[in-house]
Amino acid sequence: MKEHFKTVIIGVLLVTSVFLAEKIWLAAPPGPEELLPKAQPKIAENIEPRVLPASMLVNFGDGKHTKIYQLQNLWPFYRNILKRSSEINEKVRWESVGTARYLKLHEEPSVVFDLENAVYSDLLKKMYNLDDIEEDIRQLYFSESEGMLVVTDNGIFKPRVPQSYSDIETYISSVAKENLPSYSSLWERYGIPRAVYLPDGAAGFAPGHIYRNELSDMPAAYKNDLVQRLLKVSIDDIHVIVEEDSVLYVAGQKSVRLFKNGILEYRNGGESQGSGTDAASAVQTAMAFTVRATGNGDSLYVKDVVPVRDNGRGGYRVSLNFFERGIGVVPVDGRIKNYVEAEIYDNQVRSFRYIYRNNSGERVEDEPVSTLSVDEIVAKNPNVFGDPARGYNKILKDVRDFGLCYIDYADHSRSKLRYGYTFRIDDEDYLFDAQTGAYIGGERE
């Protein structure tokens, strides 16, 4: 599976100034599509404050580590480091750093930002003059002793002329005083030479989130207003067809269907006009339409941007999901899905599908967060990982990444979010219920 759950990467990108007040998270398309053509530098300037990595690893030294997902107040300091470096060096000359050396550097006080996707890689390269890094950037390492390192799929690199940074260790010392979950790497646990970090105990989920179907009990007046906003005509000019499991609203070649199970579908069968669209414009269009349809843009992140074609015309399918406290929410309704799927051609929404759910805002008494350990998850799923009797150092050697997510069982009208773990094994992602160990899926359909 080429898609990334998540975490990700927290929400956040490619919106116009109308949405700069919104908190959005951007995840990767499956291919090397460039979201920011060089002819659009102002887009990069506008979205810079909204580009957040998925998570931050904090290395305290002495074999102690933690991960932080809420980065809104943390990333700007390091973003400014990148900005200053790009202003000093228009072109950076790089030298390779070996894996053994890089793992050793994780023993020193340092922070590592997990980008995890090609979209952020492309954005950072354009914003901070890193275009001569050919591979997708996966991580950015910062320390006072080493400066910055760039981690890609095919190697680790550092500037030949390193920059000196200050205040990083002061921040790390302040984080050490907080009660944060402990993490350790595949290298430390199993001798696998990879800087992938797993929780040693409870992973840091926040309990009590409840999602509900907001469409099933929506008052008729609210539904009419929703339909009018999408079709852009008065309800008196809309043809209404009541069906067994849904209500269809038709105005010309546009239609909205509201299903009892909480699904909203919009279609525009009219002829589109224009000369095509780029991925950046597609994301902006999808976000604008979603906010108009739902009034919600505050906790959405862009999950995927996939090129599509229809009758010879190119467009993009944009997928959006929610996040809670920096951790992505994965809707599951028999299969793993996305909350929003929008197809954009010529900067127009041709189709839009929304699982009309959201955080209910109900107050729920906190309860202890109880999750299985990673070793227990692996032991319960030999069909995915292999037989633990072979040794964890063998069956986990192909794990490329690990993340947290919340799971929303969207086939329930109201449900408390469950806790989930995601593993990337080679190029495939796998989702597990962190409370039961059950394998949820590995293929978004």
Residue span(s) of the chain under CATH 3.30.310.160 come to 210-359
Query: How confident is the model at residue 36, as a pLDDT?
Result: 36
Among 350, 362, 355, residue whose Cα is nearest residue 274: 350
Query: How confident is the model at residue 17, as a pLDDT?
Result: 33
Q: Which helix (H) or strand (E) holds 242?
A: strand 239-242
Distance CA 264, CA 230 (A): 11
Secondary structure (3-state) at 262: coil
DSSP letter at 109 equals: S
Distance CA 23, CA 381 (A): 36
Query: How confident is the model at residue 39, as a pLDDT?
Result: 36
Query: How confident is the model at residue 191, as a pLDDT?
Result: 97
Mean pLDDT of 327-334: 89
Secondary structure (3-state) at 118: helix
Residue 326, both tokens: 């920096």
Tokens 């224009």, residue? Answer: 274
Residue range 208-258, pLDDT digits in tens? 889 999 998 899 999 999 999 999 999 999 999 999 999 999 999 999 999
CATH number for the segment(s) 210-359: 3.30.310.160
Residue range 123-159, pLDDT digits in tens? 677 677 777 788 888 899 999 999 999 999 889 999 8
Residue range 174-211, pLDDT digits in tens? 999 998 999 999 999 999 999 999 999 878 788 888 99
Residue range 61-80, pLDDT digits in tens? 999 999 998 887 888 888 88
Length of the chain: 445
